A and B are shown apart, each in its own frame.
Chain A
Amino acid sequence: MIRCPSPLPGVVVEDLERDVCLYRVDTDEVLVLNQSGSDVWRLVDGSTPVELIIERLALAYQVDQETIRADVVAVIEDLGGKGFLVDAAAGEGSP
């Protein structure tokens, strides 16, 4: 579970209307995020924990945090699984 997502260094980012386009030069992979995925990405900076991302998006969408929690976590885990972001908190708290 990613706790504090951070863009993978070297990922190239472009806005295209409401969508965000991501490009990994190392693997030549392109990902075009839809509007909600783009909203999540724009809050991913390596210092904002997932919980705070959920809080900010809930405020922006004017919905309860639990309403969007699963979707936000799914987007972040998916982006992590595809290697477009990493967990900046990885290793913290380990012995």
Chain B
Amino acid sequence: MQGGGLTIRALGIRILIRADAELSRRLRYAWRDLLQMDDGGPHTIELRFDAGVAVEHALATLTATAVAATPHLAFHAAVVSSAGAVVAVPGQSGMGKTTLSGALLRVGYAYRSDEVLAVDRTSTQTVAFPRPLALTSEAWGVLALDANTRPTAGTEVHVDPRLLGGVDGTARPVTDVILAARSDQGPARLEQCEPGAAAVPLLRSSFNHYSDPANSFHTTVALLRACRVWRASYSNAADLAVLVRQTIG
């Protein structure tokens, strides 16, 4: 194997990636917001990819590896930010987090992650995880991206978030949590609710609270104490993004 590797820092984990030159080049580009100079120190994890591995597979493996090993409390959530807000949208796979992330970038938010809200268990500051967005053909249409490069139905394409907006990799606290639900019709709605409404959905969307459940519960409630919580319903992610921007700022 030639070309060696690269070191990234993802969710508090240092990962040394060994791959052939072409895959290393593509990963280096895709993960450039998480790249770290290799200082020669010990790596938490070393990943080795054989020649010919698809970049999408490598990216998925990297995400799974980082989530499995992170010391932070990690939730399944999309996270974006503005100057005054860090907005998290928890939800399981398939609920439209990535499409909504893209739509929120389109209206001026900066990207932090389409997949993971990582919270420091002590400070409750969030750690950004700005991996490429995995967009489906449907999301492509919602986000009004170039029709000529639209992925075929049933596939995903990893997209540089900078195609849609800025990237925010700084450590910041969450200010707003949106409990979003898709509906078949009707205008997008966004209404503030009691913070307690998010306790169960957040813990249910956790990747790793089981590793320290009582502490994770304390951290989750501490996070919610500092947040506004909203219920949203929408049929079109772009409509909800506009409403979120107007309401939360």
Q: Which of B196, B218, B221 has the most CB of A within 10 A?
A: B196
Q: Which residues of B contact A92 (CB under 8 A)?
A: none
CB distance A32 to B200 under 8 Å? yes
A39: Cβ under 8 A from any B Cβ = no
What's the minimum C-beta distance from B90 to chain A, rounded to whole angstroms?
14
Q: Which residues of B contact A28 (CB under 8 A)?
A: 210, 213
What's the minimum C-beta distance from A53 to chain B, rounded to whole angstroms?
22
CB distance A17 to B214 under 8 Å? no
For chain B, give the interface size range. Answer: 10 to 19
Cα(A30)–Cα(B221), bound, Å: 11
Count of inter-chain pairs, beta carbons less than 8 A: 40
Q: Give the interface of A toward B (CB within 8 A).
A: 12, 14, 16-17, 19, 21, 23, 25, 28, 30, 32
| Residues A23 and B194 in contact in the complex (CB < 8 Å), given A14-B221, A16-B224 | no
Q: Give the interface of B toward A (CB within 8 A).
A: 194-197, 199-200, 203, 210, 213-214, 217-218, 221, 224-225
CB distance B210 to A17 under 8 Å? no
Cα(A30)–Cα(B225), bound, Å: 16
Cα(A1)–Cα(B194), bound, Å: 32
Q: Which residues of B contact A30 (CB under 8 A)?
A: 199-200, 203, 217
CB distance A12 to B214 under 8 Å? yes
Cα(A23)–Cα(B203), bound, Å: 10
CB distance A23 to B196 under 8 Å? no
| Residues A17 and B195 in contact in the complex (CB < 8 Å), given A28-B210, A30-B217 | yes
Cα(A19)–Cα(B196), bound, Å: 7
Q: Which residues of B contact A32 (CB under 8 A)?
A: 196-197, 199-200
